Structure 1
Amino acid sequence: MLSRRGLLAGLALGLGGAVPGVPAWARVGASDLPTQFLIGYGSLIDADSRAGTAGARLEAVPMRVAADFGWRRVWNLVAGSGFTALGLEAGRTDAAAETINGVLFPVDAPTLAKFDRREAGYDRVLVPNALIQSLSWMRLPEAGRVWIYVPKPGARTSVPDAGHPIVQSYVDLVLSGALAYGEPFAREVVETTFGWDSFWLNDRPFARRPWSANPSAGTIDRLLATTPPAEAAFARRLLSEDYAARYLIPARTLEPARP
């Protein structure tokens, strides 16, 4: 009996190699299948962000890692440019491991090296294939090594603070990428991300008219405003000038100017 992979490959060959919605790596023969895959659970969910590192479009499949993997997604990695990015932390008694939805995409050795350089603050950790579930009609690869990035033990990890806030431009990048796989997928990203904090800077280029730069801004804000655990912190998100006034300008009484 022809396997599903064989059927897809046969269809691809019969259509000149193009089956709409089927990644290229699912269309090729068994001998040509990739052997290395990455999971993106933050900015790597976004196709343009992946392409910017790889130098080419990398087709991906939406997926979910089971809670048995032992980690959960959280705001915890201090980026060199001065904000708090998404990372993973090991589950513990007071903060149980969770499912992690994201995307899976293939990489060859040179491309994998590019992503390792990009994610210099993270270690690349193997994920057991049995713990990965496709969120698409497409099956995941049955062979190959699947990797995910976890903050290095020596990396600077912390909850967001005044000098290293959650920034809306990064949130927008993650959720714009997630919305490409549907609003329920994007909502799951919000629901399974922990550490949302009141140190949240609305740094959009046109923060008072966000739709002018990002057509998805309204959908993103609605998701954040109505989805725990983000909703409480979202209510305290501040524009740049308000954030500076509250957290960055020292609180002191100015002496009145002398006549």
Structure 2
Amino acid sequence: MTQLIGGPVRRHPGTRPGPRCFRLLLIVGLLLTPRAAAAGDWGHKLPGLPTDFVFGYGTLIDADSRDRTAGAQVPAIPVRVSAEFGYLRAWVDRCSCGFTALGLRKPHPGEPAMTINGVLYAVNASNLPAFDRREGDYRRVPLPRRMIEAVSWQELPRDGQIWVYVPIGPGAEPGVDLPQASAQFPMLQTYIDLVLRGSLIYGSDFAKEIIRTTTDWSLFWLNDREQPRRPWVHTADYQAIDTLLRQTAPASKRFGDRLFPEDYAARRLAQPAPDPSPNPAHPSPAR
């Protein structure tokens, strides 16, 4: 005698199960099969996950800037690098086209390293060479995972190599003996706009941290915005950016030195101050 749901069913030897038994077995099988499939999917990742990531701390924070380089959308998450990494973000990379960009440098004697906030984004075999070409005067340096933290709800990737681009000094050592801004190689307001516009996506506190943790703000600051005397025409967020620069040290200490092009030519180029860093300019645009 076989005990089934609904009471005992008597079966003589050599007889086949009846229709009722088949129906019960079919129902049990249908109930168990989806659970088994679901249990088998748990913990599996999608194929083709990225294995390389880049930490961007300058104009690479801006999504449009990243996307133009990659030729596709490149999502990013906000992160922070520990001072243990041993660098500072500073105005120390001269482009031969005539401006000074952000880079990372080693601290001077007696100067502490600082934390550096920015973004982390994935790269692949097709777009990593494009970023390497863009950062041609920088060296791609490994960034230890333990020295970077996520600052929002998104988590860091669990696997893969993290990279950061560091300018190369005259001695071919990354972050050493780098030139500061000068009359011929000023900080450009349009470059600063790009960095802070990308940073404001993550909030004003994140943008303020960018300013606070950037060193070597300079007397040589050119307001090169299109129609700079009427910035609202072409720079919709100029007020938010200028307020941050005016109120947040150390940029605030140099904000009054920012000049319109004609004033810059008369006061900085006609009678230039001595070049604070006579190292040669780098050959390609920096970030």
Q: Answer whether TM exceeds 0.5 for this pair.
A: yes
* Aligned residue identity for 1:197: S
How far residue 30 of structure 1 moved from its aligned partner, in angstroms, is 5.1
List per-residue Cα deviations over 1:196-245 (Å, max 9, x = no partner).
Answer: 01100000002111122121110110000111111111111100000000
Q: Which residue of 1 aligns with 2:165?
A: 149
List per-residue Cα deviations over 1:128-160 (Å, max 9, x = no partner).
Answer: 011111011010101100000000133793111
Confirm or deny that 1:78 pairs with 2:99.
no
Superposed, 1:129-148 pairs within 5 Å as: 129-148=145-164
Larger Rg, first or second structure (1 or 2): 2
Q: Quote the Cα distance in structure 2 between the aligned partners of 1:67 and 1:216.
A: 31
Whose relative contact order is higher, 1 or 2, with alpha carbons under 8 Å and at least 6 apart? 2
Which of 61, 79, 83 is the equivalent residue of 2:77? 61
Percent of aligned pairs sharing the same letter:
48
Q: Quote the Cα distance in structure 2 between the aligned partners of 1:75 and 1:188.
A: 16
Deviates more, 1:85-94 or 1:136-145: 85-94
Q: Quote the Cα distance in structure 2 between the aligned partners of 1:174 and 1:91.
A: 22
**Where does structure 1 lack aligned partners over 5 or more consecutive residues?**
1-9, 11-27, 252-259
Superposed, 1:55-204 pairs within 5 Å as: 55-154=71-170, 157-204=178-225
**Where does structure 2 lack aligned partners over 5 or more consecutive residues?**
1-37, 39-43, 273-287
Q: Which residue of 2 aligns with 1:38?
A: 54
TM-score, reference length from structure 2: 0.75
* CA contact 2:87–2:114 (8 Å) conserved in 1: yes
Q: Quote the Cα distance in structure 2 between the aligned partners of 1:54 and 1:193.
A: 26
Q: State the secondary structure of the residue aligned to 1:110.
A: coil
Count, aligned residues: 226
CA RMSD of aligned residues (A): 1.9
* CA contact 1:62–1:135 (8 Å) conserved in 2: yes
Q: Quote the Cα distance in structure 1 between the aligned partners of 2:90 and 2:226.
A: 25
Q: Quote the Cα distance in structure 2 between the aligned partners of 1:80 and 1:176.
A: 25
Q: State the secondary structure of the residue aligned to 1:238.
A: coil
List per-residue Cα deviations over 1:173-216 (Å, max 9, x = no partner).
Answer: 10001111111000000000000011000000021111221211
Q: Which residue of 2 aligns with 1:222?
A: 243
How far residue 124 of structure 1 moved from its aligned partner, in angstroms, is 0.3
Deviates more, 1:150-159 or 1:165-174: 150-159
How far residue 107 of structure 1 moved from its aligned partner, in angstroms, is 0.3
* Aligned residue identity for 1:121: D
* CA contact 1:83–1:167 (8 Å) conserved in 2: yes
